[in-house]
Structure 1
Amino acid sequence: MGTLSTAGIGIKPLVSIRQHAKLTVATFAITLLLGLPMIWLKGQPKYETEAVIQIAPRYMKTLKDDNELDFQSNSQYRQFVQQQTSTVLREDILRDAIRKVASAPAVQRWQLPGENERQSIRRLRTSLLVLPVPDTYMVRISLSSSDPQPLAPIINAVTSIYLERARNEQVFGKDERTAQLQKRQQQLLRDIDDKAERRNQIAGELGIATFSEEAGNPYDKAIERLREALADARIKRFDAEAREKAFLQHGETDPAVRSILESVSVDPGLNSLKASLNNRRAQLVSGMAGLTEQHPGYQQSRQELGEIDQEISSQTGKLTQSVRSNLQSRFATATSQSRQLEQDIQAELTRQEQSRGRFATLFKEAQNLSAEIEQVRKELDSIGERLNFFTAETGSLGFVRLVTAAQVPDLPQGPGKKKIFLMVVLAALLAAIAVPVARDLLDRRIHAPNDVSASFGFPPLGWLIEADSEDSRSFRCDQLRRLASALIREQDRTGMHIFGLCALQPGGGASSLTLELQATFAQMGLPAIAVEANAFNRDPRFATAPELELADPQMPQAACASLRLAGSGRHLHAIDRLGACLQQLAQQYRFVLVDVPPLLASGDAELTLRATPGILAVIEAEAQGRGEVGRAARLLQGIDPDSIGVVVNRVRPLDGGGYVRDLMNEFLTGRKPPPANLLRELRLTGVLLIKGAGALLTDLRGQLPRRGAHHETD
């Protein structure tokens, strides 16, 4: 038997709309009603203006950079931009902007009559739109209203106050930090004055002007020089005493000093005397020449020569003694001087060493004071640089600057009521199409025979249309003959006579299908019997049938169309004898059709199906979910019968067309249906929508009296 070409409805907008005409109309009406307020609110054309500011990723410095104003990553910059956009809407900025506009002459006030300041601030905050411009460093501050006059003044006021606050606040806590730095600066200056005054006192006491570490302690240097001088003086004293002692012992000087004899020999007075005396000697000697010793002149000359020699010797002796005395005095003086110098140096060294400890202490204190003053000056320099930064950089552009000021708008903007109405109508149409399609896509129920193929692994044996009209009943009869033909072929192939018809849940149509198949076989002249083994849900149509007790079966002698098995409550008696009973019936009838309890609801279903070699699973379309079908397939596979077939029952033809309806029309008319025509499909869809709208109104009118009656009863 043929099957449908698709599984379920799928994405077929026209089919979904025709299937759910009331849902489509309701969706369109609800969407349209919800859009009417938007038409009223958004349809009013408004004036809009904006100011544009730039938030730079780097601090626009005046003199120097500051590390605390640097962004380490792009995410930090984005966070800063977000923070600045929130700052624009800060209450103090909006309040000052409103007051600034109110104080300006010839400018329309933002605050409305009868509105207090807090309310006007709240209205301005909700009206302002502050958004970053994508892929730029710009930020838009925009405002729209039906009145164009107050827009530009209030936006410019907000922008100017924001820029002023941003520049003052971009260096966080500038005023407090400046005050703290100035306070620290005054403390350091006082500290420098105190230390410098103490260092001056030490300098006056020590008589030193500088206290540098490189120069060292001058007092130590002075003591060292005294020690060196004392050693020199001692050496000189030793030398002087040695010279004096050697002179006294030997009567002559050392080779380094002119000797006495040399001093006497070079004495000019003595040499002059010797020269004159020697001239006289020469005269006397010349006069004595040729005279005898007895000559009176000779004796006189000789005597005078003796006197000359005596005079020279006497003068030489005197001069020698004088030089000796002079040299001795000089040696004694040199010794005395070196001794006295040594004593004086020793006394000074002793005095200096006695005051050395205090001098070193004061000098070290002065050096420490100098180092501390230098350190304090460095700190003062750092504080001065920071104060200069606050003075110079807080007046710079910083991160934010104005790019474009707001202008008074001259033309209104907006789509208008007509465009918004068309947009709402279009949205309603789209929703009216999307909702039915989505409902069908989300519907997990079985709609067509191919929907069960994935669960069972094979196509269904047949399918039956929902018989809700004379035409559908006639077409169902033909489908029953097709199903009977399929069972005949199965019997010819396997020799099987017993078939159990099992629905998944109560009301699935297994009982009706059992009786319909029996009647179809009877019309075809084939002996068949319908056996009700469904004690779970008794069908009234079996009430007139003979009842058979399985514990003690008494088979009817005459042929009958149906048979009812006895049971108590919802269970059969002696169900284990069902197989033998059905085999006896199979000897009398060609087809034994057993109405089995619903598989997913009754425990007797599996026991009953054990006695039926062939099983027909009856799946009700648009009632069974795919999960239930899969569970039923697993249960039937666990029973492991000789044959399993699937029948999809009560397949509903799609309203206004579809494969099922085309088959039924082809059967009824005996002609091939015309090819699909879009205009015909649209016309048919429109007709069904009109009918759906009428049905929806009827349902709504039917609800009103009920509610009224309910209130009256209450």
Structure 2
Amino acid sequence: MAQASAGIGIKPLVSLRQHPRLAVCAVILTFLAALPMVWIKGQSFYEAESVIQIAPRYMKTLKDDNELDFQSNSQYRQFVQQQSNTIQRYDILRDGIRLANQNHQIQASSPTNTNQLQLDYAIGGSKITQAPAQPQKTSLWQRPNESERHAVERLRNLLQVSAVSDTYMVRIGLSGKNKAELAPIINGVVSVYLERVRDEQVFGKDERIAQLQKRQDLLLTQIDEKAERRNTIAGDLGIATFSEEAGNPYDKAIERLREALADAKIKRFSAAANEKAFLTHGDTDPGVRSILESVSVDPGLNSLKASLNNRRATLVSGMAGLTPQHPGYQQNKIELAEIDAEIRQQTEKITSEVRRNLQSRFSTASTQSAQLEADLQRELTEQEKSRGHFATLFKEAQNLSADVTQIRKELDAIQERLNFFAAETSALGFVRLVSAAMTPETPLGVGKTKLLLMAIIASLAAGLLLPIVYDLMDRRIHTPNDVVSGFGFPPVGWLIHAKDNDSQLFRTDQLRRLASALIREQDRTQLRVFGFTALQPQGGTSTTVFDLQKTFADMGLPAIAVEANAFSRDPRFANAPHHDLANGIPSALNLDTAQLYLSGNDRHIHAIDRLGETLTHLAHTYRFVLVDLPPLLVSGDAELALRSTPAVIAIVEAEAQGRGEVARAARVLQSIDPASIGVIVNQVRPLDGGGYVNDLMDEFISGQKKQQAGIASQITSTMKILLQTALHLPRDLQHQISALLRSKS
């Protein structure tokens, strides 16, 4: 078996020789495509930028607010992205252009340091007079006859806003040819952005303040209404406070009336009992001074008794020693009787007076207690009649007081929130300016010369890489080694693509090598019948069988070529003897031609089941029976015919079959399981400008060992091929276009 050529793989020079047109076209198309970019991007430009800081924490004035706090780093990153998009908002860009135009007009009317003016209005942009609604006639950014919206959209496409990695900074950059307009435009946009973000950093501030103020006005109105109603109730009830802790004073008054009424009843009962007991028994109870005691302690009576007792003592002493019949004794006795009568009379008089006085006191007390009870009962009855109305009004007043208290708490919360908006909306917040844009002085850009060189390098790289990529992505069979992965064994031989006399001579020698491989296989297996089948139509089966039969004949070995390929007949077998398998075994053959044509109909051989006995019969006469079979992957007769050929040779056409087709053919042959399987790689094309096949063919033609070409020689030959292809490319394209037009016509 001939030594197999190496696969292409990643070999730049080989790929360039294989596909010179592809390389030349890639170079030309890439260079033509890069020319506009060289013209556009090669022009010098200026660039200005401003830097702002977006802090991860809200820079407060007085107090924090939870809604202005980031809970995680991802939320902060989302906020930075949102602010980067906000800078490119239409209204901010529009007002930034207007502000830049306004300051341009100020600078034109009052010349000053340009950078200082840009820095001043970038830092304190909110202090600058509001830009007019319409742009100035001489616009700094807007071109003549360009609408404001188009100018804003153009600025949005050119403005570069990006976060500086590993920092809290955001860069706002702008590049262009006119260096005078870059810094004012950036500073105008940044100034408007800083002012807007300070106003909008508390989301919906204006709407929220309006809603809070509206709610505040409503609550104040409710307080006035409820307070007025409570004052009316206070006037009606005659009380000033409606404390929940103090309770209802009307209930307390009724309770006191009930207690007083109970006391009055007890006093009336006591007075009535005392009066009744006095009238019944004529004296007071033990707890009160008795009549006798009152009489005994009467000072007038006691004084009278004292004087009369002195007289009595005198009279008694004068009667001492006198007999009852003595006139003095009688006189004294009468006077003593008068003294006793006087004392008794005065005592009874005082007793009567005390009795009358006590009786009057008991009666008065009873009358007073009865009157007090009646008055209290009447007052309680009247109070209880108006108790429900009083309690309703008092409860309403208490509810009003509670409502007013609750409303005042809500008012305090609203006022606190309004105070927060007033204090914190003027705070630095999250965003502040780090550096304003300055007018650039040094132009930037690669330059047309460098870009042209880069375009040339890119074109050459495309011309080099595209053929390599094409070969790497090409799944077709190119070399004998490519079939090893599909069949699992190396091919028995390979045949070069004959395009001239030298390659034809080399192909003839390869046929002898192939014949030698079949002889060795016959010596090993004693097989004489070899079936040749291609994978697809026009795979070179008939040519291989025809040429191999002539090679065996030249070598003096009897061999016959049997045309059993009804799918695609070869005209070189037209003069061979015809035989129909249905007629049995052929009796005689023309040994001069050593060819046999099996008859068939509609791409099928007649009585193909009898092919085996015919081939066996031929094997008795010929040492090699070479059978031309239909394509394996297309015709059904191929699998039927392979049953009659113990040795099968699959012919794989280089640069025509893919690796998947080879693997499929290998599976089909394995399912048929013949006695012997071999593979021939046909039409192996020698690489243009050199390569192993070319070297091998040159050594065969010259009969001398070819010196290995150096890298410089290989490059030179490759460049010659590419140059010739480039020179002939217009003519080839013209011919292809003419052929295409002729085909359409």
TM-score, normalised with respect to structure 1: 0.91
Pick aligned residue for 2:388 from 347, 353, 357: 357
Distance 2:466 2:578 in 1: 52
Distance 1:249 1:571 in 2: 162
2:248 aligned with 1:217, yes or no? yes
Instruction: Tell me which residue corresponds to 1:16.
Output: 15
CA spacing shift, 1:496–1:276, aligned 2, 3 Å: same
2:650 aligned with 1:617, yes or no? yes
Distance 2:454 2:345 in 1: 157
Distance 2:718 2:320 in 1: 192
Distance 1:531 1:357 in 2: 131
2:677 aligned with 1:644, yes or no? yes
Instruction: Tell me which residue corresponds to 1:101.
Output: 100
Contact (CA 8 Å) 1:3, 1:450: kept in 2 or not? no
Cα displacement (A) at 1:291: 5.6
Larger mean CA deviation between 66-75 and 531-540 belongs to 66-75
2:226 aligned with 1:183, yes or no? no
CA spacing shift, 1:557–1:217, aligned 2, 3 Å: closer
Distance 2:457 2:293 in 1: 146
CA spacing shift, 1:3–1:375, aligned 2, 3 Å: farther
1:331-367 deviations in Å (ceiling 9; x for gaps): 1111111111111111111111222232223223323
Q: Which amino acid aligns with 2:44?
A: P
Distance 1:489 1:631 in 2: 28
SS at match of 1:499: strand
Instruction: Tell me which residue corresponds to 2:719.
Output: 686
2:347 aligned with 1:312, yes or no? no
Cα displacement (A) at 1:144: 0.6
CA spacing shift, 1:409–1:384, aligned 2, 3 Å: same
SS at match of 1:106: helix
2:328 aligned with 1:329, yes or no? no
Instruction: Tell me which residue corresponds to 1:411.
Output: 442
Larger mean CA deviation between 153-162 and 372-381 belongs to 372-381
Cα displacement (A) at 1:73: 6.0
Contact (CA 8 Å) 1:548, 1:554: kept in 2 or not? no
2:425 aligned with 1:425, yes or no? no
Cα displacement (A) at 1:564: 3.0
CA RMSD across the alignment:
3.1
Name the count of aligned residue pairs: 711
Larger mean CA deviation between 188-197 and 291-300 belongs to 291-300
Q: Which amino acid aligns with 1:212?
A: S
SS at match of 2:553: helix
Distance 1:294 1:406 in 2: 160
Contact (CA 8 Å) 1:548, 1:555: kept in 2 or not? no
Contact (CA 8 Å) 1:551, 1:577: kept in 2 or not? yes
Contact (CA 8 Å) 1:55, 1:137: kept in 2 or not? yes
Instruction: Tell me which residue corresponds to 2:25.
Output: 26
CA spacing shift, 1:639–1:270, aligned 2, 3 Å: same
SS at match of 1:599: coil
Cα displacement (A) at 1:237: 0.4
Identity %: 67
Note the residue ranges of structure 2 that are not aligned, 5 or more in a row: 109-138
Q: Which amino acid aligns with 2:197?
A: A
2:387 aligned with 1:344, yes or no? no
SS at match of 2:627: strand
CA spacing shift, 1:341–1:589, aligned 2, 3 Å: same
2:662 aligned with 1:661, yes or no? no
Larger mean CA deviation between 25-34 and 130-139 belongs to 130-139
Q: Which amino acid aligns with 1:451?
A: D
Pick aligned residue for 1:194 from 214, 218, 225: 225
CA spacing shift, 1:630–1:262, aligned 2, 3 Å: same
1:71-96 deviations in Å (ceiling 9; x for gaps): 56666555544443333223222222
Instruction: Tell me which residue corresponds to 1:52.
Output: 51
Note the residue ranges of structure 1 that are not aligned, 5 or more in a row: none
Mapping for residues 472-491 of structure 1, pairs under 5 Å: 472-491=503-522
SS at match of 1:253: coil
Contact (CA 8 Å) 2:5, 2:480: kept in 1 or not? no
Instruction: Tell me which residue corresponds to 1:89.
Output: 88
Cα displacement (A) at 1:622: 0.6
Cα displacement (A) at 1:299: 5.2
Q: Which amino acid aligns with 1:219?
A: Y
Cα displacement (A) at 1:172: 4.1
Mapping for residues 72-83 of structure 1, pairs under 5 Å: 77-83=76-82
Pick aligned residue for 1:589 from 607, 617, 622: 622
Contact (CA 8 Å) 2:2, 2:513: kept in 1 or not? no
Mapping for residues 455-534 of structure 1, pairs under 5 Å: 455-534=486-565
2:146 aligned with 1:115, yes or no? yes
Distance 1:687 1:643 in 2: 47
Distance 1:3 1:138 in 2: 68
Q: Which amino acid aligns with 2:633?
A: L
Q: Which amino acid aligns with 2:92?
A: I
Mapping for residues 596-611 of structure 1, pairs under 5 Å: 596-611=629-644
Contact (CA 8 Å) 1:445, 1:622: kept in 2 or not? yes
Distance 2:199 2:354 in 1: 100
Cα displacement (A) at 1:294: 5.9
Larger mean CA deviation between 496-505 and 549-558 belongs to 549-558
Instruction: Tell me which residue corresponds to 1:402.
Output: 433
Instruction: Tell me which residue corresponds to 2:237.
Output: 206
SS at match of 2:180: coil
Q: Which amino acid aligns with 2:613?
A: A
Cα displacement (A) at 1:620: 0.5
Distance 2:141 2:616 in 1: 97
Q: Which amino acid aligns with 1:187?
A: L
Q: Which amino acid aligns with 1:249?
A: T
Mapping for residues 122-137 of structure 1, pairs under 5 Å: 122-137=153-168
CA spacing shift, 1:325–1:26, aligned 2, 3 Å: same
2:609 aligned with 1:563, yes or no? no
Instruction: Tell me which residue corresponds to 2:172.
Output: 141
Q: Which amino acid aligns with 1:117?
A: E
Contact (CA 8 Å) 1:40, 1:417: kept in 2 or not? yes
Distance 2:599 2:84 in 1: 83
Contact (CA 8 Å) 2:2, 2:494: kept in 1 or not? no
Distance 1:88 1:673 in 2: 72
Q: Which amino acid aligns with 2:96?
A: A
SS at match of 2:239: coil
Distance 2:71 2:95 in 1: 34
Larger mean CA deviation between 473-482 and 568-577 belongs to 568-577
Distance 2:724 2:633 in 1: 38
Q: Which amino acid aligns with 1:106?
A: Q
Contact (CA 8 Å) 1:4, 1:659: kept in 2 or not? no
Instruction: Tell me which residue corresponds to 1:43.
Output: 42
Contact (CA 8 Å) 1:537, 1:570: kept in 2 or not? yes
